[in-house]
């Protein structure tokens, strides 16, 4: 199989349509269909189910797509490396929202301090979005707090983290001498969006202890949640690292729940088939020791 076959296959998957893929590739539709048939013949399996005029990728097709993206991307990396020998490798790093707001900038500053010539492009999304980007080879690595689902990704814990219950200083919860998980029953909570690692852990622990709660708001960033809680509109469960300043200033209060913990790890994630250049390995190594640096 050639790179041409892989490029055509990826385009068909992205367009989910042979005709649209042909237009994007400046090819005829029969030529695109023939390339897909050659792939299926070569691997001895169907890559798409054809129901009427619609295409549905099979499980075998999804497996091949993961490899195809990396085959094509690795070829592009090789081309770039050979044409720009001696230039700096540009790292593409993603971070989930909690890590992005509490750790990413410090990590980048330290990386630039130790290697001023290093080029880094970074972006912040929730864990589910970052996982999808890694599978499409749109990132070299990601730092996430949520659970990774794909078997194609390598996960390395690099830092412990704990979520805590936070409230405004005027919250009625703080009047209790001892606060237990049952006291959180039917409280108004501000939470992160679906796909967030913080949201997933919060719901898992609450469900495990059979604590029902009410949603006061769903926000895709920690700053909005902190402001809403500080205003006394509800409470939240959030990374302790994300509220250090607010706790110090007295804008938020740590509600210590005697029989409930929200512990997890921050993880480095990259594709199992990813080529690890020296620059990327340096960043991975830095993540593993950053807790003792910043």
What are the structural domain ranges in the chain? 3-83, 90-159+265-292, 161-264
pLDDT of residue 20 exceeding 60, the answer is yes
Average pLDDT over residues 266-272: 94
pLDDT (0 to 100) of residue 102: 87
pLDDT (0 to 100) of residue 292: 67
Average pLDDT over residues 96-118: 89
Q: pLDDT of 141-189, one tens digit each?
A: 999 988 899 998 999 999 999 999 999 999 999 999 899 999 999 999 9
Give which of 264, 220, 205 is closest to 240, Cα–Cα: 264
Give pTM, 2 decimals: 0.69
- Whole-number average pLDDT of the chain: 91
**Residues 6 or more apart from 12 whose CB is under 8 A from it?**
18, 21, 32, 36, 48, 55
Answer yes or no: same fold for 3-83 and 90-159+265-292. no
- CATH number at 90-159+265-292: 3.40.190.10
* CB 139, CB 266: distance < 8 Å: no
Architecture of the domain delimited by 161-264: 3-Layer(aba) Sandwich (3.40)
Q: pLDDT of 28-61, one tens digit each?
A: 999 999 999 999 999 999 999 988 778 899 999 9
Assigned CATH class of 3-83: mainly alpha
Q: How confident is the model at residue 83 (pLDDT cuts 50, 70, 90)?
A: low
Share of the chain above pLDDT 90, in %: 71
CA 180 to CA 231: how far, in whole Å? Answer: 23
Share of the chain above pLDDT 70, in %: 96
pLDDT of residue 77 exceeding 80, the answer is no
pLDDT of residue 281 exceeding 80, the answer is yes
Q: How confident is the model at residue 85 (pLDDT cuts 50, 70, 90)?
A: low
CA 141 to CA 186: how far, in whole Å? Answer: 39
Q: How confident is the model at residue 265 (pLDDT cuts 50, 70, 90)?
A: very high
pLDDT (0 to 100) of residue 294: 63
CA 272 to CA 266: how far, in whole Å? Answer: 18
């Amino acid at each position: 199989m050639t790179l041409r076959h892989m490029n055509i296959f990826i385009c068909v998957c992205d367009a989910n349509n042979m005709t649209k893929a042909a237009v994007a590739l400046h090819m005829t539709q029969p030529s695109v269909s023939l390339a897909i048939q050659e792939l299926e013949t070569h691997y001895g399996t169907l890559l798409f189910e054809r129901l009427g005029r619609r295409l549905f990728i099979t499980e075998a097709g999804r497996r091949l797509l993961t490899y195809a993206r990396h085959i094509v991307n690795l070829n592009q990396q090789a081309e770039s490396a050979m044409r720009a020998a001696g230039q700096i490798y540009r790292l593409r790093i993603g971070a989930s929202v909690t890590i992005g707001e509490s750790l990413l900038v410090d990590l980048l500053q330290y990386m630039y301090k130790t290697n001023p010539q290093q080029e880094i492009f970074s972006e912040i999304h929730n864990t589910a979005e970052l996982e999808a980007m890694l599978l499409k080879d749109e990132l070299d690595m990601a730092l996430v707090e949520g659970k990774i689902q794909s078997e194609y990704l390598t996960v390395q814990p690099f830092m412990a983290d704990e979520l805590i219950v936070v409230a405004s200083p005027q919250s009625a919860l703080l009047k209790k001498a001892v606060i237990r998980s049952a006291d959180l029953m039917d409280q108004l909570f501000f939470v992160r969006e679906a796909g967030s690692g913080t949201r997933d852990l919060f719901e898992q622990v609450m469900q495990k202890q059979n604590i029902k709660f009410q949603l006061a708001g769903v926000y895709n960033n920690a700053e909005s949640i902190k402001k809403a809680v500080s205003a006394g509109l509800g409470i939240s469960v959030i990374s302790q690292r994300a509220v250090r300043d607010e706790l110090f200033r007295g804008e938020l209060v740590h509600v210590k729940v005697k029989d409930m913990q929200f512990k997890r790890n921050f993880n480095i994630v990259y594709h199992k088939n990813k080529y690890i250049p020296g620059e990327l390995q340096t960043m991975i190594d830095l993540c593993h020791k950053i807790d003792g640096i910043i």
